[in-house]
Chain A
Amino acid sequence: GAGVSQSPSNKVTEKGKDVELRCDPISGHTALYWYRQSLGQGLEFLIYFQGNSAPDKSGLPSDRFSAERTGGSVSTLTIQRTQQEDSAVYLCASSRGLADNEQFFGPGTRLTVL
């Protein structure tokens, strides 16, 4: 596609449920990043992929968060047993490679945990 796409655009869930957020990067982009933007906060790094591997998972807030990437393309961010503090906009970005290439952001998934 022309840009990074994410689905769903909005997700409302109940506390304790699991959610999956999907990211389709720009075709040919080898690097993929997940960020979180809470209300009134800056963007917070979660995890990045180079190809299918995730060298840096340091930003994941807890072991309830996990992510995978398959075929060097689509990535899924999974949040298990969601909590109200997980409510945020989850943004995905991709770039041609690592080493300070411009990152192109998707529109985000707005997650609301009731």
Chain B
Amino acid sequence: GQNIDQPTEMTATEGAIVQINCTYQTSGFNGLFWYQQHAGEAPTFLSYNVLDGLEEKGRFSSFLSRSKGYSYLLLKELQMKDSASYLCAVTVGNQGGKLIFGQGTELSVKP
């Protein structure tokens, strides 16, 4: 089966750094996506990792270790607007790119 785990909730302070972890146990892993979803809105793409290592994109970075089945999303210089749900999703095998999602991590940024 496929299993993707991430913390349910996290709280951080404006201006700080927060790391959201995601672990997965899947067969035929292809790649890992991070999406951001504000309440009542559609998920929006943040990052995609297929090789081991860190991908940096502005204030957001994503890391992948395929051997450990582990990824994290790093958010720097947190802003209030970063309060949202962060969704980890993987694609596996020859399954047409369908996304298998974790439960999502609800991040609250406090002033």
What is the interface of chain A, defined by CB distance below 8 A to chain B?
Answer: 4, 31, 33, 35, 41-45, 48, 50, 55-56, 59, 91, 95, 97-108
Contacts and interface: CB of A to CB of B under 8 A. Distances in A.
Contacts of B41: 107
Contacts of A42: 87, 101-104
A31 B91 CA distance: 14
Interface residues of B, number: 24
A102 B81 CA distance: 23
Nearest to B50: A100
Given A100-B50, A102-B48, A43 B97 contact: no
Interface in B91-105: 91, 95-104
A103 B42 contact: no
B43 interface: yes
